Amino acid sequence: MFDKNTYIRRRKSLQTKVKSGIFLFLGNNEASMNYPANTYRYRQDSNFVYFFGLQLDNLAAIIDIDERKEIIFGNDYTIDDIIWMGNQPSLQSLAESCGISEVQPYNQLSEYLLKAKQAGRQVHFLPPYRDDNKIFLHQTLDIPFEELKNAASVEFIKAVVALREIKDDEEIAEMEKACNVGVQMHLAAVRYCKAGMIERELAGLVEGIALSGGNGVSFPVILSQNGETLHNHNHEQILENGRLLLVDAGAELKSVYSSDYTRTFPVSGKFTQKQKEIYEIVLQANTEAIAMIKPGLTYQKVHYHATTVITKGLTKLGLMKGNPEEAVSVGAHALFMPHGLGHMIGLDVHDMEDLGENYVGYDEQTQRSTIFGHGSLRCGKELKKGFVLTVEPGIYFIPQLIDKWEKENKFTDYINYNKVREYIGFGGIRIEDDVLVTDTGYRVLGQPLPKTVEEIEKIME
Ligand code: GLY
Ligand code: MN
Ligand code: MN
């Protein structure tokens, strides 16, 4: 947890952005796996962490703008809890650690909100994503479940995004650490990869390093020879020489700042010519996209550049044809890269996605594309100093998508299906880094992680 002044400052800034009402923050509770007492790893809500720093279950907080009050709601642990959990800090001392002096029992929260509602005051809440918090909001504010998401306060959402999207030095230092744990995870995967292993043996090693570095992985590890499946969580295949292995994994620290890297490498330690040709295109898209990053440019432009690099590369190899810019403008590239170039990253690996992707990644000036592929870009808006984004271009050969588009005669002016068919079974390649937008350009976070063909082959020798 940062010094309490950080949280005091953040809450003060928040209050300058909305004129009246009450900000309500519902913390996350423990969630059960297979019986009530056997819980998943506890994860606090990121907005709660950002404004209060407290990572315990059964907490809520309000900032009452009209009455200039800040209150933490929770319950002190009883002797029964302490027998099982050990000694615990008092609610008062927890509140003081983030600069708040007033605490109240959790069961007083509904009454506080009800009173405010009866007085015609607005209770601003963020879109809930946990069922217990949905139930609380439904019962307390009498909002039907299906309307909760739309009843969330847009003013509150926009105010939170405006603060959280700009990472300050204290946060960037944490993100560097998260990246360095991520680098260690990927170095281990490259170094220990060997034909004959089961993918999960490598995935377990990667996950163990994340756990040693803090909270564990920032999202379930993607590690597969079928890298063409974008979020492939199946790790049951035996590693085979001749195939590529895609590893997409990141770390979450105790502070819950996270990292997100992807590397793709040959199981044998040596790329084939065919693999190298595709790899070099993805690498060029990754490095050119990173080099473009600077304040004032939209990330949508960077995404279009990366997809154009990919289209040009595939055209050179004969998999695509025609004018590459035109092919990208209509979305023909999306047969090979159906996702966007990247997303914001911070306290969440897809930062603030709970608040709604369009509020985080788009604004009045930059609208989300409706074209398949381009529309998957999570963040397209103008870059500002302090943003941290992933840059993750890829090329994938998805047999079902190839079949479907070919049957539909889709983009036959731009795609050589006969040539593409030669790549069925190739898998997929993605290369992902985490990049900070600086005053004048960019800085790639974390220690260098090998990504050229030569670097990867050397480390696997
Ligand atoms: N963690 C999946 C991604 O790279 O966005
Ligand atoms: Mn990733
Ligand atoms: Mn990512």
> Is 79's pLDDT higher than 90?
yes
Q: Which of 248, 348, 379, 391 to mutate to test the pocket of ligand 1 (most atoms within 8 A of CB)?
A: 248
> Is 441's pLDDT higher than 90?
yes
Q: Pick the ligand that lies closest to the CA of residue 434.
A: 3
Q: Any idea what the Cα angle at residue 179 is, between residues 177 and 183, rounded to 5°?
A: 115
Beta pairing class for 102-105 and 123-124: unpaired
Domain 4-164, CATH: 3.40.350.10
* Nearest-atom index, ligand 1, CA of 230: 2
Summarize pLDDT for 13-52 with one digit per residue, the tens: 999 999 999 999 999 999 999 999 999 999 999 999 999 9
192 CB-near residues (< 8 Å, 6+ apart): 202, 205
CATH class of this structure's domain 169-459: alpha beta
Q: Pick the ligand that lies closest to the CA of residue 345.
A: 3
Summarize pLDDT for 181-228 with one digit per residue, the tens: 999 999 999 999 999 999 999 999 999 999 999 999 999 999 999 999
Q: What is the pLDDT of residue 250?
A: 98
* Nearest-atom index, ligand 1, CA of 342: 5
Any atom of ligand 1 within 6 Å of the Cβ of 18: no
Summarize pLDDT for 377-399 with one digit per residue, the tens: 999 999 999 999 999 999 999 99
Q: What is the pLDDT of residue 287?
A: 98
Summarize pLDDT for 282-321 with one digit per residue, the tens: 999 999 999 999 999 999 999 999 999 999 999 999 999 9
Q: Which of 262, 341, 344 to mutate to test the pocket of ligand 1 (most atoms within 8 A of CB)?
A: 262
Cα 426 from Cα 398, distance rounded (Å): 9
What is the arithmetic mean of pLDDT over 158-175?
Answer: 98
Calculate how far, in angstroms, residue 260's C-alpha sits from the geometric centre of ligand 1.
7
Calculate how far, in angstroms, residue 186's C-alpha sits from the geometric centre of ligand 3.
14
Q: What is the pLDDT of residue 228?
A: 96
Domain residue extents for the chain: 4-164, 169-459
Any atom of ligand 1 within 6 Å of the Cβ of 349: yes
* Nearest-atom index, ligand 1, CA of 430: 4
Any atom of ligand 1 within 6 Å of the Cβ of 372: no
Rounded to 10 deg, the angle between the 273-292 and 299-316 helix axes is 160
Beta pairing class for 102-105 and 69-74: parallel
With bands split at pLDDT 50, 70 and 90, how would you rate the model's confidence at 232? confident
Here the contacts of 32-35 (C-beta below 8 Å, separation 24 or greater) are none
What is the arithmetic mean of pLDDT over 138-147?
Answer: 96
Q: Which of 260, 348, 360 to mutate to test the pocket of ligand 1 (most atoms within 8 A of CB)?
A: 260
Any atom of ligand 1 within 6 Å of the Cβ of 219: yes
Rounded to 10 deg, the angle between the 109-118 and 131-141 helix axes is 40
| Stretch (H or E) spanning 32 | strand 32-35
* Nearest-atom index, ligand 1, CA of 392: 4
Nearest to 289 by CA among 303, 277, 279, 300: 303
